[in-house]
Protein backbone atom coordinates (compact mmCIF):
# COMPACT_ATOMS: atom_id res chain seq x y z
CA UNK A 1 0.00 0.00 0.00
CA UNK A 2 1.22 3.50 -0.89
CA UNK A 3 0.57 6.39 1.49
CA UNK A 4 -0.80 9.32 -0.57
CA UNK A 5 -0.77 12.93 0.61
CA UNK A 6 -2.12 15.93 -1.31
CA UNK A 7 -0.53 19.37 -0.89
CA UNK A 8 -2.73 22.29 -1.95
CA UNK A 9 -2.45 26.07 -1.74
CA UNK A 10 -2.87 29.11 -3.95
CA UNK A 11 -0.17 30.34 -6.31
CA UNK A 12 2.86 31.55 -4.38
CA UNK A 13 1.59 30.44 -0.97
CA UNK A 14 4.65 28.28 -0.30
CA UNK A 15 3.59 24.81 -1.50
CA UNK A 16 6.88 24.11 -3.23
CA UNK A 17 8.83 25.26 -0.16
CA UNK A 18 6.82 22.88 2.02
CA UNK A 19 7.20 20.08 -0.52
CA UNK A 20 10.98 20.58 -0.44
CA UNK A 21 10.81 20.37 3.35
CA UNK A 22 8.77 17.16 3.15
CA UNK A 23 11.10 15.53 0.64
CA UNK A 24 14.08 16.35 2.84
CA UNK A 25 12.39 14.69 5.81
CA UNK A 26 11.76 11.53 3.75
CA UNK A 27 15.34 11.29 2.49
CA UNK A 28 16.26 7.68 1.89
CA UNK A 29 12.63 6.56 1.62
CA UNK A 30 10.93 5.29 -1.53
CA UNK A 31 9.08 8.44 -2.59
CA UNK A 32 7.06 9.43 -5.65
CA UNK A 33 5.75 12.84 -6.71
CA UNK A 34 3.15 14.14 -9.12
CA UNK A 35 3.66 17.84 -9.83
CA UNK A 36 0.91 19.80 -11.56
CA UNK A 37 1.42 23.27 -13.03
CA UNK A 38 -1.16 25.43 -14.69
CA UNK A 39 1.18 26.70 -17.40
CA UNK A 40 2.74 24.64 -20.17
CA UNK A 41 6.24 25.14 -18.78
CA UNK A 42 7.10 23.21 -15.61
CA UNK A 43 8.95 25.31 -13.02
CA UNK A 44 8.19 23.56 -9.74
CA UNK A 45 9.29 20.20 -11.13
CA UNK A 46 12.77 21.56 -11.79
CA UNK A 47 12.89 23.09 -8.30
CA UNK A 48 11.91 19.78 -6.69
CA UNK A 49 13.84 17.35 -8.87
CA UNK A 50 15.96 15.02 -6.74
CA UNK A 51 17.84 11.81 -7.40
CA UNK A 52 16.00 8.65 -6.41
CA UNK A 53 12.51 10.18 -6.52
CA UNK A 54 9.94 8.91 -9.02
CA UNK A 55 8.39 12.07 -10.47
CA UNK A 56 5.77 12.88 -13.08
CA UNK A 57 4.87 16.39 -14.24
CA UNK A 58 1.45 17.37 -15.59
CA UNK A 59 1.14 20.81 -17.17
CA UNK A 60 -1.43 22.81 -19.10
CA UNK A 61 -4.27 22.93 -16.57
CA UNK A 62 -5.52 21.58 -13.26
CA UNK A 63 -5.40 17.82 -12.63
CA UNK A 64 -9.02 18.04 -11.42
CA UNK A 65 -10.24 19.68 -14.65
CA UNK A 66 -11.39 17.67 -17.67
CA UNK A 67 -8.58 19.31 -19.67
CA UNK A 68 -5.91 16.98 -18.19
CA UNK A 69 -7.82 14.83 -15.67
CA UNK A 70 -7.31 11.68 -17.76
CA UNK A 71 -3.55 12.27 -17.61
CA UNK A 72 -3.80 12.55 -13.83
CA UNK A 73 -5.68 9.27 -13.54
CA UNK A 74 -3.10 7.56 -15.74
CA UNK A 75 -0.27 9.01 -13.63
CA UNK A 76 -1.86 7.62 -10.47
CA UNK A 77 -2.17 4.20 -12.11
CA UNK A 78 1.45 4.31 -13.34
CA UNK A 79 2.73 5.41 -9.93
CA UNK A 80 1.01 2.39 -8.34
CA UNK A 81 3.36 0.19 -10.39
CA UNK A 82 6.49 1.89 -9.02
CA UNK A 83 8.56 0.72 -6.07
CA UNK A 84 7.46 3.54 -3.75
CA UNK A 85 6.01 3.72 -0.26
CA UNK A 86 4.88 7.35 -0.33
CA UNK A 87 3.28 9.52 -3.03
CA UNK A 88 3.05 13.29 -2.64
CA UNK A 89 0.91 15.28 -5.07
CA UNK A 90 1.31 19.02 -5.58
CA UNK A 91 -1.59 20.32 -7.71
CA UNK A 92 -1.64 23.75 -9.30
CA UNK A 93 -2.48 26.69 -7.07
CA UNK A 94 -6.00 26.83 -8.49
CA UNK A 95 -6.81 23.18 -7.90
CA UNK A 96 -10.11 22.18 -6.28
CA UNK A 97 -9.42 18.79 -4.65
CA UNK A 98 -12.98 18.08 -3.50
CA UNK A 99 -13.33 14.93 -5.63
CA UNK A 100 -10.01 13.31 -4.71
CA UNK A 101 -11.55 10.47 -2.70
CA UNK A 102 -13.92 9.69 -5.58
CA UNK A 103 -11.02 9.61 -8.05
CA UNK A 104 -9.14 7.09 -5.93
CA UNK A 105 -12.25 4.94 -5.66
CA UNK A 106 -12.78 5.03 -9.44
CA UNK A 107 -9.24 3.92 -10.31
CA UNK A 108 -8.94 1.29 -7.54
CA UNK A 109 -9.59 -1.69 -9.89
CA UNK A 110 -6.68 -0.62 -12.12
CA UNK A 111 -3.99 -0.18 -9.46
CA UNK A 112 -1.09 -2.56 -8.88
CA UNK A 113 -0.82 -1.35 -5.27
CA UNK A 114 -3.66 0.41 -3.49
CA UNK A 115 -3.40 3.94 -2.09
CA UNK A 116 -3.81 4.81 1.57
CA UNK A 117 -5.23 8.33 1.29
CA UNK A 118 -3.75 10.26 4.24
CA UNK A 119 -5.42 13.60 3.53
CA UNK A 120 -4.69 17.16 2.41
CA UNK A 121 -2.27 19.77 3.72
CA UNK A 122 -3.35 23.24 2.56
CA UNK A 123 -0.79 26.08 2.53
CA UNK A 124 -2.38 29.51 2.98
CA UNK A 125 -0.76 32.82 2.04
CA UNK A 126 -1.41 35.12 5.00
CA UNK A 127 -1.06 38.18 2.78
CA UNK A 128 -3.50 37.31 0.01
CA UNK A 129 -5.95 34.73 1.40
CA UNK A 130 -8.58 37.06 2.93
CA UNK A 131 -9.15 38.79 -0.41
CA UNK A 132 -8.66 35.94 -2.87
CA UNK A 133 -10.76 33.41 -0.93
CA UNK A 134 -13.84 35.55 -1.64
CA UNK A 135 -13.34 35.63 -5.42
CA UNK A 136 -11.78 32.27 -6.31
CA UNK A 137 -14.03 29.25 -5.55
CA UNK A 138 -11.11 26.81 -5.48
CA UNK A 139 -9.57 28.42 -2.38
CA UNK A 140 -12.48 27.78 0.02
CA UNK A 141 -12.70 24.23 -1.34
CA UNK A 142 -9.00 23.71 -0.58
CA UNK A 143 -9.67 24.70 3.03
CA UNK A 144 -12.93 22.76 3.35
CA UNK A 145 -11.26 19.51 2.30
CA UNK A 146 -7.95 19.91 4.12
CA UNK A 147 -6.74 17.91 7.08
CA UNK A 148 -4.30 20.63 8.14
CA UNK A 149 -4.09 24.30 7.20
CA UNK A 150 -0.64 25.91 7.25
CA UNK A 151 -0.92 29.70 7.54
CA UNK A 152 2.35 30.71 5.89
CA UNK A 153 4.18 34.07 5.59
CA UNK A 154 3.16 34.99 9.14
CA UNK A 155 6.20 37.25 9.33
CA UNK A 156 4.65 39.54 6.70
CA UNK A 157 1.39 40.30 8.54
CA UNK A 158 0.30 41.32 12.04
CA UNK A 159 -1.38 39.22 14.74
CA UNK A 160 -4.78 40.68 13.86
CA UNK A 161 -4.52 39.29 10.33
CA UNK A 162 -3.50 35.85 11.65
CA UNK A 163 -6.50 35.86 14.01
CA UNK A 164 -8.81 36.85 11.14
CA UNK A 165 -7.54 34.04 8.91
CA UNK A 166 -7.67 31.51 11.74
CA UNK A 167 -11.30 32.37 12.41
CA UNK A 168 -12.17 32.11 8.71
CA UNK A 169 -10.49 28.71 8.40
CA UNK A 170 -12.31 27.45 11.50
CA UNK A 171 -15.64 28.55 10.05
CA UNK A 172 -14.89 26.72 6.78
CA UNK A 173 -13.43 23.61 8.38
CA UNK A 174 -13.77 23.32 12.17
CA UNK A 175 -11.98 19.95 12.26
CA UNK A 176 -8.69 20.78 10.56
CA UNK A 177 -5.45 21.41 12.39
CA UNK A 178 -4.12 24.98 12.02
CA UNK A 179 -0.39 25.75 12.02
CA UNK A 180 1.10 29.26 11.77
CA UNK A 181 4.55 29.51 10.21
CA UNK A 182 6.99 31.50 8.10
CA UNK A 183 8.86 29.94 5.16
CA UNK A 184 6.92 26.72 5.91
CA UNK A 185 9.33 25.92 8.73
CA UNK A 186 7.71 23.02 10.55
CA UNK A 187 8.15 19.32 11.21
CA UNK A 188 6.84 18.27 7.80
CA UNK A 189 7.13 14.53 8.30
CA UNK A 190 5.34 14.58 11.65
CA UNK A 191 2.54 16.63 10.06
CA UNK A 192 2.24 14.35 7.02
CA UNK A 193 2.04 11.25 9.19
CA UNK A 194 -0.54 12.45 11.71
CA UNK A 195 -3.19 13.88 9.38
CA UNK A 196 -6.34 11.99 8.41
CA UNK A 197 -8.73 12.70 5.50
CA UNK A 198 -11.43 15.30 6.09
CA UNK A 199 -14.82 13.75 6.80
CA UNK A 200 -16.57 15.45 3.91
CA UNK A 201 -18.34 13.84 0.97
CA UNK A 202 -16.79 14.28 -2.47
CA UNK A 203 -18.22 16.97 -4.75
CA UNK A 204 -17.73 17.83 -8.40
CA UNK A 205 -14.66 20.01 -8.73
CA UNK A 206 -15.09 23.70 -9.56
CA UNK A 207 -12.13 23.26 -11.96
CA UNK A 208 -13.69 23.28 -15.42
CA UNK A 209 -12.59 24.28 -18.88
CA UNK A 210 -14.84 27.33 -18.56
CA UNK A 211 -13.29 28.53 -15.28
CA UNK A 212 -9.61 27.89 -16.05
CA UNK A 213 -7.30 30.87 -16.04
CA UNK A 214 -5.05 32.03 -18.86
CA UNK A 215 -1.29 31.55 -18.68
CA UNK A 216 1.41 32.75 -21.06
CA UNK A 217 5.04 31.74 -21.44
CA UNK A 218 7.68 34.24 -22.56
CA UNK A 219 10.84 32.71 -23.99
CA UNK A 220 14.22 34.44 -23.53
CA UNK A 221 16.29 35.56 -26.49
CA UNK A 222 19.74 35.96 -24.98
CA UNK A 223 20.64 37.36 -21.57
CA UNK A 224 17.94 39.25 -19.70
CA UNK A 225 19.06 42.51 -18.01
CA UNK A 226 18.04 42.16 -14.38
CA UNK A 227 17.05 45.82 -13.89
CA UNK A 228 14.77 45.74 -16.93
CA UNK A 229 13.36 42.42 -15.77
CA UNK A 230 12.45 43.91 -12.39
CA UNK A 231 10.64 46.82 -14.03
CA UNK A 232 8.83 44.47 -16.40
CA UNK A 233 7.56 42.18 -13.64
CA UNK A 234 6.49 45.07 -11.41
CA UNK A 235 4.38 46.48 -14.24
CA UNK A 236 2.59 43.15 -14.69
CA UNK A 237 2.05 42.23 -11.04
CA UNK A 238 -1.24 44.18 -10.74
CA UNK A 239 -2.67 42.07 -13.58
CA UNK A 240 -1.21 38.68 -12.59
CA UNK A 241 -1.83 36.00 -10.01
CA UNK A 242 1.71 34.67 -10.36
CA UNK A 243 4.89 35.20 -12.39
CA UNK A 244 7.67 32.62 -12.21
CA UNK A 245 10.33 30.93 -14.28
CA UNK A 246 13.98 30.52 -15.21
CA UNK A 247 15.94 33.04 -17.28
CA UNK A 248 19.59 33.38 -18.47
CA UNK A 249 21.84 36.09 -17.00
CA UNK A 250 25.57 36.51 -17.69
CA UNK A 251 26.09 32.83 -18.43
CA UNK A 252 24.13 31.77 -15.34
CA UNK A 253 20.45 31.02 -14.75
CA UNK A 254 18.20 32.93 -12.38
CA UNK A 255 14.88 31.99 -10.84
CA UNK A 256 12.04 34.51 -10.86
CA UNK A 257 9.18 34.23 -8.39
CA UNK A 258 6.58 36.97 -8.00
CA UNK A 259 3.20 37.00 -6.27
CA UNK A 260 1.18 39.85 -4.81
CA UNK A 261 3.62 42.74 -4.48
CA UNK A 262 6.66 40.56 -3.76
CA UNK A 263 9.35 39.78 -6.36
CA UNK A 264 12.25 37.41 -5.64
CA UNK A 265 15.14 36.85 -8.06
CA UNK A 266 17.79 34.28 -7.13
CA UNK A 267 20.62 32.39 -8.79
CA UNK A 268 19.81 28.82 -9.86
CA UNK A 269 22.43 26.18 -9.07
CA UNK A 270 20.71 22.96 -10.15
CA UNK A 271 20.59 21.15 -13.48
CA UNK A 272 19.62 23.22 -16.51
CA UNK A 273 15.82 23.72 -16.41
CA UNK A 274 13.47 24.73 -19.25
CA UNK A 275 13.95 28.47 -19.76
CA UNK A 276 10.94 30.76 -19.83
CA UNK A 277 8.82 33.12 -17.77
CA UNK A 278 5.30 31.93 -16.93
CA UNK A 279 2.65 34.60 -16.36
CA UNK A 280 -0.71 33.53 -14.94
CA UNK A 281 -3.19 36.24 -15.79
CA UNK A 282 -5.74 37.68 -13.39
CA UNK A 283 -7.55 39.48 -16.23
CA UNK A 284 -7.72 36.81 -18.90
CA UNK A 285 -6.50 37.44 -22.43
CA UNK A 286 -6.47 41.19 -21.82
CA UNK A 287 -3.07 40.84 -20.18
CA UNK A 288 -1.45 40.44 -23.60
CA UNK A 289 -1.70 44.18 -24.22
CA UNK A 290 -0.05 44.86 -20.84
CA UNK A 291 2.73 42.37 -21.62
CA UNK A 292 3.34 43.98 -25.00
CA UNK A 293 3.48 47.45 -23.47
CA UNK A 294 5.75 46.39 -20.59
CA UNK A 295 8.20 44.73 -23.00
CA UNK A 296 8.83 48.08 -24.69
CA UNK A 297 10.67 49.29 -21.61
CA UNK A 298 13.96 47.46 -22.20
CA UNK A 299 12.98 43.85 -22.96
CA UNK A 300 11.52 44.06 -26.46
CA UNK A 301 13.18 41.35 -28.52
CA UNK A 302 14.73 39.82 -25.40
CA UNK A 303 11.58 38.14 -24.09
CA UNK A 304 9.38 36.65 -26.81
CA UNK A 305 5.65 36.09 -26.34
Residue 208 lies in a domain: no
pLDDT at 27: 87
Q: Where a domain ends, among 134, 163, 194?
A: 194
pLDDT at 135: 74
Q: Indicate whether 230 and 189 sit together in one domain.
A: no
Q: Indicate whether 233 and 185 sit together in one domain.
A: no
In which residue ranges of the chain is pLDDT below 50?
39-45, 47
Residue 221 lies in a domain: yes
Q: Indicate whether 9 and 113 sit together in one domain.
A: yes
Q: Specify the number of domains making up the chain.
A: 2
pLDDT at 251: 84
pLDDT at 299: 92
CATH code at position 28: 3.40.50.300
Residue 206 lies in a domain: no
Q: Indicate whether 173 and 31 sit together in one domain.
A: yes
Q: Indicate whether 172 and 95 sit together in one domain.
A: yes
Residue 61 lies in a domain: yes
Q: Indicate whether 252 and 174 sit together in one domain.
A: no
Q: Indicate whether 285 and 139 sit together in one domain.
A: no
pLDDT at 42: 47
Q: Indicate whether 78 and 166 sit together in one domain.
A: yes
Q: Indicate whether 157 and 104 sit together in one domain.
A: yes
Residue 202 lies in a domain: no
Q: Indicate whether 31 and 137 sit together in one domain.
A: yes
pLDDT at 272: 84
Q: Indicate whether 168 and 283 sit together in one domain.
A: no
Residue 209 lies in a domain: no
CATH code at position 285: 3.30.1220.10
DSSP the chain: -EEEEEEEE-TTSSHHHHHHHHHHHTTTS-EEEEEEESSSS-SHHHHH--TT-EEEEEESS-TTSTTTHHHHHHHHHHHTTSS-SEEEEE--TT---TTHHHHHHHHGGG-SS-EEEEEEEEEEETTTHHHHTTT-THHHHHHHT-SEEEEE-GGGS-HHHHHHHHHHHHHH-TTSEEEE-STT-S-HHHHHHH----S------S--TTTPPPEEEEEE-S---HHHHHHHHHHHGGGEEEEEEEEEETTEEEEEEEETTEEEEEEE-SSPPPPEEEEEESSGGGHHHHHHHHHTTTTBTTEE-
Q: Indicate whether 166 and 267 sit together in one domain.
A: no
The pTM score is 0.74
Which range marks the domain in which residue 276 is found? 215-304
Amino acid sequence: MIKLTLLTGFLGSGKTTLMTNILGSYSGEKVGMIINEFGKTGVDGALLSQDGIQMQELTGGSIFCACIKKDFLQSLIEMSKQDISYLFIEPSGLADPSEMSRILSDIAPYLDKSYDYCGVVCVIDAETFPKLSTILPALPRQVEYCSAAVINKADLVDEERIAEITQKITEMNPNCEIIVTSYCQLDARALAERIVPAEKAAQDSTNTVETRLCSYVLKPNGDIPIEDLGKFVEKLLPYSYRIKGFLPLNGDIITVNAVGEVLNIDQWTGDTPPLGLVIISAIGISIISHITEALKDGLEGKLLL
